[in-house]
Amino acid sequence: MHTRIFLIGFMGSGKTTLGRKLAGKLKYDFVDMDHLIEQTSGMTVPGIFSEHGEDLFRKWESDILKEILRMDHVVVATGGGAACHNNNMTLMKQHGLTIYLQLAPEAIRDRLLKSKTQRPLVKGKEPDELLEYIKELLSSREGFYLQSDLVIHGINLHVEELLNAISRLD
C-alpha cells in the first residue's frame, strides 16, 4: 500500500470529504493543502488571492507540497489547481499515488452552488456563467488530472469503492 496518497480534481469534486474518510480507513493522517497554506500563512485562501494575487498563492501551494512530500502515511486533498501548476503533478506522481476524482462539469456546478467554501475563482458567478467557466477551466486542466495513476468517477463515490480500487492497483 502506498504511504502517500494524493486526491486530485476540480474544485467541488469531493477531495476533502473523501480524503478524510480514506485517511480514517487507512489510519493515515489527513492533510488538506488549502488548510495547511492557511495555517502557515495566517491568511485565508480568498485573502491570499485578493491581497497577493494568484501567482503568489501558486508559489505557496508548491512550497506546501514540498513540505507534504516529507510526510508519510498521509492522504492529501490537493487544491483544484495544484496539479496544474509548476511541476507539482510530476512531484506527486514521483512520491505517491495520485487519484483523480472525475466529475462532469454539470455535477461540479451543482456541488459548487451548494458549497459553503469560499472559492475566489468562482465567487459571484451565476449558474450559466459558472458552467461555462467550469467547462473551459476543466478542459485546460484535465490533461494534468488525467496523468493520475487512478481515474475514478467521483459522483456518489463511497470510500469503500475508493479503497477497493486502490487495493486492486497493488
User: In whole angstroms, how close is the CB of 35 to ligand S3P at the nearest point?
Assistant: 9
Closer CB to ligand S3P, 33 or 170, in the complex = 33
Smallest gap from Cβ 9 to ligand S3P, in A, equals: 7
d(CA 26, CA 103): 24
Between 1 and 51, CB nearer to ligand S3P: 51
- Minimum distance from residue 59 beta carbon to ligand S3P (Å): 13
State the DSSP code for 45: H
Binding site for ligand S3P (CB under 6 A): 11, 15, 34, 45, 79-81, 119-121
DSSP 151: E
How many angstroms separate the Cα of 100 from the Cα of each of 41, 52, 80?
Answer: 27, 29, 11
Nearest to 137 by CA among 109, 115, 164: 109
DSSP E strand boundaries for the chain:
4-8, 29-32, 74-77, 97-102, 150-153
Q: Which is closer to ligand S3P, CB of 54 or CB of 149?
A: 54
